[in-house]
Structures are given as C-alpha cells and as structure tokens.
Structure 1
Amino acid sequence: MNRKQFLKTCGVALVGLPFASAILTSCQSIYYASFKTIKNKIVVPLSEFEIVKKTSTTYRDFVMVNTALQDFPICLYRTEGSNYIASLMKCTHRGCELNVGGGMYSCPCHGSEFDTKGKVLEGPADQDLKTFKTTIDDENIYIELF
C-alpha cells in the first residue's frame, strides 16, 4: 500500500468510526409500554419492565410511553430500587425528539445530552427536561401529567 492509499484509508476509518459506533449503540430496541389513562395520570403496569424468558426474568432499564396527550413520548426510567423517573423526550434547546441509550438522553439535532433524571449534562441546552411526578403501588406506576 502506498502512502496516498494509506492516508485515504485512515481518513475513511476516522470518519466512519463515529457512525459505526452510533449504529451499534442504537441496536438496543426501544420498548413502547402498554398503558391506560385515568384522569390526569398515565398508568403503566410494573410488568412492562419485565423480560420473561423460559427460565429467567430480567428487567428493562426504561420503557417509552407514547400518548396522544403529549406531542413527544415520555421515557419512564427505572432507577435504583423501586424509583421511576418520567421525562418528556423533547430537547429544551430547539425541541427535537431525544434518543435514549447508554444511560442518558441525547439530542440528534445539536448534541445536547441529559442524564436519566432530566438534568443537562452537555449543551447547547441550558434547561433540564420536563419531568413528571411518579408514584407506584404493588402493580402499577402512575405518571402525573398535570
């Protein structure tokens, strides 16, 4: 391989590496939960976080809730123990729909990043995400919209 080919190959690899990384990290499937709406609350069964296989049960870190009451989906994220955080997947910078992955939310439009509690990690966004109060009982998670 001559010098020119080598530099060209390295350039293509450097440009292609971030795209390959994004594609591989986005392979995690997004699960949209079943839910019902009662008055001003979205009711999501706790079982929506379960992944039941023949001999074992594992749990999702998050589920998405897509309701006609909001213009954007809501991500319901399971934190330590039995705590859940519901965040509107709308970037506070310019209103783009956020992506979920790697334990954070990221904006595909301008690169803002938020933690799973909705706090800004990286700008240009300078406001935290809209979050909703959540409560749980033995069977359900309740997301209070208003």
Structure 2
Amino acid sequence: MKTRREFLKDTCTTCLGTVALGFTFSQLSSCSSLPVFKANLEQKTVTVPLTSFAESNLVIVRDMQVQFDILLVKKSAEEYNALHMKCSHRDNPVSATKSGLYCPEHGSTFDLDGNVTKEPAPLPLKKFKTTLSDQNITIDLNS
C-alpha cells in the first residue's frame, strides 16, 4: 500500500511524463485546473459545501486519511456522483479531466459516471453514495 506522499509523487511524475510523451493539453488540462477541496473525514463520511462548485461542475475531494482522491461530479442541482479515483485494472490512481478520468499507467479511460470507455480496466470506478442536505453534499465512504 502506497503512502500519500508516494501517491502524490507518482501522480506528479506521471503528469510530467505524459507531457513529455506529447499528449494533448486537453487530456491533461485537469491535472492542475480542477478545484480541490481538502476534506476532513469523520466517521467514514466527508462533507463538501456546495460552494466548492463555484468554478466547475467537478471537484477533487482530498483527505490525508484516504489513499485515493474522490472526484465529485455535479450532474444537476440534485444529483452528484462521487467516484473513487482508483483504477479497477491495477489499483493505480487516475487523473480527472473535464470530460472523464484517465489511468496513465495502462491507458484505461472512464466517463464522468465511472463507466469504462477504454480498457484494460475490467470494471467501472467505485461510486460512493452521496446525500444532499442544506448547503452540503455528504459522501458515505462505507457505501
């Protein structure tokens, strides 16, 4: 199991390596452009304020206690997807873009619902249950 530091180092190295290989800017645009919400995990739930969506319909949710980030996708004012950013092929971290998710390790891609759009990933990304209340979205990491 990788430490958070190793995960972040690998992710940055992968982004830089991908640029060096000549991938288009659109594939990498979210490596640094999506907003990140630094969460506080409490009893296996994370609460994200709706104001986190001021810049984008996508927010990366990051907590130091959780190995992989979560991509929170605003599908409508009432519907949100919370996707575990862990590839189903070999448990590598995936990168999020405005159009989907990409595993730089073996090239799997996923849509914003977590469905596989390009293999070798055999399964969709894991989804967590979300609940909308007041001005917050709660992500249940037990689901």
Distance, in Å, in 2 between the alignment partners of 1:141 and 1:111 is 31
Partner of 1:33: 37
What one-letter code is carried by the residue in structure 1 that aligns with 2:116? Answer: V
Written as runs of structure 1 = structure 2, the 5 A alignment for 1:6-17 is: none
Distance, in Å, in 2 between the alignment partners of 1:85 and 1:120 is 15
* SS of equivalent residue, structure 1 residue 126: coil
- When residues 27 and 85 of structure 1 are mapped into structure 2, their CA distance, relative to the original with a 3 A threshold, is same
Partner of 1:91: 87
Kindly report the root-mean-square deviation, in angstroms, between the aligned alpha carbons of the 2 structures: 2.0
Distance, in Å, in 1 between the alignment partners of 2:107 and 2:98 is 14
The match for 2:51 among 47, 51, 54 is: 47
Could you tell me the TM-score, scaled by structure 1's length? 0.74
Poorly superposed stretches of 4+, deviation over 4 Å: none
* Residue correspondences, number: 121
Distance, in Å, in 2 between the alignment partners of 1:72 and 1:80 is 25
Shifted more, 29-38 versus 127-136: the winner is: 29-38
What one-letter code is carried by the residue in structure 1 that aligns with 2:51? Answer: S
Where does the alignment leave 5 or more consecutive residues of structure 2 unmatched? 1-18
* Identical-residue share of aligned pairs (%): 32
Higher relative contact order (CA 8 A, sep 6+): 2
Where does the alignment leave 5 or more consecutive residues of structure 1 unmatched? 1-15, 52-59
Q: Give the conservation status (yes or no) of the 8 Å contact 2:47–2:139.
A: yes
Partner of 2:13: none
How far 1:80 moved relative to its partner?
A: 2.8
Partner of 1:71: 67
